[in-house]
Amino acid sequence: MRVTVLDHPLVAHKLTVLRDKNTTSPVFRLLVEELVTLLAYEATRGVRVEPVEIDTPVTRTTGVGLSKPRPLVVPILRAGLGMLEGMTRLIPTAEVGFLGMARNEDTLDIITYAERLPDDLTGRQVFVLDPMLATGGTLREAIKFLYRRGAEQITCVCLLAAPEGLAALEEELGDSEVNIVLAARDERLDENAYIVPGLGDAGDRLYGVVD
């Protein structure tokens, strides 16, 4: 497992506004998209390409195009949906599948309540979108699910991660090819498994649910 934290002043600046509890949902959504596009640049560094012959106005030359099968982008519902636009802006020909997973806030168990993915993912490069890597439980279940379907290479794009969640994933998936690309590694989890300093409940902040 390889973890990359994007070290860039624009990422840090946008993340600071995102964390601010006074940032409204419309601004929050926009910032998530922008941040994901920046993360996607790093996350797609290993995307497979193949040689393509083209004619420029001057001469014939060889460039590259994305290989087939196309990469598959999988937002984890609900909060991962807010990351989809930012990802597909950079890689518009990617296929998109969906996984609905939720954490039972009492037991912290993960349940899969929806799935819309190709049956066979053999040889596919998959990009999983989930903003908050807290305990790591959701990502662990998503990654296992995708490997069972035949996915070859999995990259998770997250905004924030807690050290506890990263350690748990490392313990279970340490030997695998999984890449994790983050905007920041935060300090810790609190007693409710929220990331500290974090940004609160990403789904609620994206979609405007207020207590």
Q: Which residues bind ligand URA (CB under 6 A)?
A: 79, 132, 134, 194-195, 198, 201-203
The CB-side HSE value for 71 (13 A sphere, CA atoms) comes to 27
- Pick the catalytic residue from 23, 29, 70, 204: 204
Question: 12 or 196, CB closer to ligand URA?
Answer: 196
**Does the annotation place 48 within a ligand binding site?**
no
Query: Is position 204 annotated as part of the catalytic site?
Result: yes
Query: Is position 112 annotated as part of the catalytic site?
Result: no
**Does the annotation place 131 within a ligand binding site?**
yes
Question: 100 or 203, CB closer to ligand URA?
Answer: 203
The minimum distance between CB 60 and ligand URA, in angstroms, equals 51
Question: 121 or 195, CB closer to ligand URA?
Answer: 195
Question: 71 or 136, CB closer to ligand URA?
Answer: 136
Rg, C-alpha atoms of the chain? 18
- Pick the catalytic residue from 107, 119, 148, 211: 107
Phi/psi at 60 (5° precision): -85, 140
Q: Give the DSSP H or E segment for 19.
A: helix 9-19
Q: Give SS3 for 41.
A: helix
Q: How far is the C-alpha of 117 from the C-alpha of 77, rounded, in Å?
A: 13
Query: Is position 120 annotated as part of the catalytic site?
Result: no
**Does the annotation place 93 within a ligand binding site?**
no
- Pick the catalytic residue from 19, 70, 103, 185: 103
Omega of the bond leading into 78 within 30 degrees of 0 (cis): yes
The minimum distance between CB 189 and ligand URA, in angstroms, equals 8
The minimum distance between CB 134 and ligand URA, in angstroms, equals 4
The minimum distance between CB 27 and ligand URA, in angstroms, equals 17
**Does the annotation place 134 within a ligand binding site?**
yes
The CB-side HSE value for 161 (13 A sphere, CA atoms) comes to 27
- List of residues 6+ apart from 7 with CB closer than 8 A: none
**Does the annotation place 208 within a ligand binding site?**
no
Contact, 127 vs 149, CB < 8 A? no
CA distances from residue 186 to 111, 133, 198 in whole angstroms, order as listed: 25, 10, 7
- Structure-token pair, residue 22: 């006074």
Residue list, annotated binding site for uracil: 195, 200-202
Residue list, annotated binding site: 78, 103, 130-138, 195, 200-202
Residues forming the active site: 103, 107, 201, 204
